[in-house]
Structure 1
Amino acid sequence: MKFIKHLPNFLTICNALLGCFALFFLFVESFGYSNSEKYYCIILLIFIAAIFDFLDGFFAKFLNVKSNLGSQLDSFSDLISFAVVPAFLLIYYLSIHEFSLYVKLTPLIIILSSIYRLSKFNLLESSNHFKGLPTPANAMFFLGLPSLLLYLNEFVLISIVLVFSFLMISDFKFYSFKSLKNKDEKQFLFVLILLQLVIIIFSFVYDAELASLLSFMILAYILSCFIISGINKEASSN
């Protein structure tokens, strides 16, 4: 029974460990895999890390064992898996595509913004929505971005990093999946599902690379949040 109390922290450590494995896989050992195979393995590792990130919070609440230690562990683990890994993955592929030095340095802003975002998150009271773009969502967007580098120029890349970094540290409302009981939360889910279906259809029609779906699905999530927030703001002002 004592282990059960430590289960959330164990899951959090697993999140961090997978992030470390992803970094090791990126820079130290490729095990004979091609760049494309290595890329998808790293995406898989971080996707599993995101599952652990969800489960640690779920079990902490379910077992009623929330603690300050758990909050700190969660933030540091998220920093590794959802900030350091996506940033250096992007730097790695920017180097392969021979972008200029200042563009290669730009993803470091993702790490700095994530540090601020995670520190801010620890000071906020628990809520059914997020203030600022969650770091896992930001990570998933940037994990998919290397598959789109052939279609992006340097100005667009820098703009993307700056916009997403701003969204993380902003006070914009982003919906969570913890609760979908209220009217606006149900509206958000409906719009999100609709946009995701459109993305999936277009991806099949235009034979889009699988990894790029991560970026487009996160864009759909952001757009859904803004659409519903805008509708509710307009309704409340009338």
Structure 2
Amino acid sequence: MEKIKNAIPNLFTFSNLGCGILSLMMSSTGMENYSLAALFIVAAALFDRYDGRIARKLNVDGPLGKELDSLADIISFGVAPAVLIFNMTALHQFGIIGYCILLIFPIAGAYRLAKYNITDFDGVFKGIPITLAGMLLSIYAIFLMIVKIEVSSMVTVALMLILSYLMNSKLQLKKM
């Protein structure tokens, strides 16, 4: 029974990770699947919202779950949204600069997750969580697909750089 109790929150974490991987797959198969890629990021956020809560409710939270969650989050909310935005916008037109912008977002997210994992959480986030930053990029992608307007690549670059900065800023947000 104890193994089942431990497995339940991990199932949510692995579902988060699976959604991130599926988002990457959809992003790489072409523009007809960009909306699915964005929706997989949204689904990952739903799983991420409940894995820790379930672990605490079942009294099985621990360092392994925290690390698994961070590994899933870097894929689902760092790499997947950055690749989606890179593929669906014209960031590739900037050459090496575009690739650097693609890299900055998940690297900033990984650094933010590492800082979070080694600090005592007091109910206040320092910097915006990677989940929020990744969701904002995903919502931006959905918005671009719905309104079907050409947005300047500089707007996309600015959004990615601002979110990367905010993940590691001193901005304080209370956990909801």
Shared fold per TM-score greater than 0.5:
yes
Shift in Å, 1:153:
4.2
- Structure 2 partner of 1:8: 9
Contact 1:87–1:110 (8 Å) recurs in 2: yes
Stretches of structure 1 that go unaligned for 5 or more consecutive residues are 178-238
Give matches, 1:47-126, under 5 Å: 47-95=42-90, 99-101=93-95, 102-126=97-121
- 1:18–1:81: 8 Å Cα contact kept in structure 2? yes
Distance 1:105-1:171 versus aligned 2 partners, 3 A rule: same
The match for 1:145 is 140
RMSD across aligned C-alpha pairs, in angstroms? 2.0
3-state secondary structure, aligned to 1:130: strand
After TM superposition, the score normalised by the length of structure 2 is 0.86
Q: Give unpaired runs (5+ residues) of structure 2.
A: none
After TM superposition, where is structure 1 displaced by more than 4 Å over at least 4 residues in a row?
none
CA deviations 1:131-156 (Å, max 9, x no partner) are 111111101111133418723242x4
C-alpha distance in 2 between matches for 1:5 and 1:153: 45
Spell out, residue by residue over 1:156-215, the C-alpha distance to the aligned partner (whole angstroms, 9 max, x if none). 4333222211110112101321xxxxxxxxxxxxxxxxxxxxxxxxxxxxxxxxxxxxxx
Equivalent pairs, count: 169
Counterpart contact for 2:38–2:81, Cα < 8 Å: no
Q: Tell me, in whole angstroms, the C-alpha distance in 2 between the residues paired with 1:89 and 1:153.
A: 14
Q: Report the 3-state secondary structure (helix = DSSP H, G, I; strand = E; otherwise coil) of the residue aligned with 2:170.
A: coil
Structure-1-length-normalised TM-score: 0.65
Q: Match of 1:174, SS?
A: strand
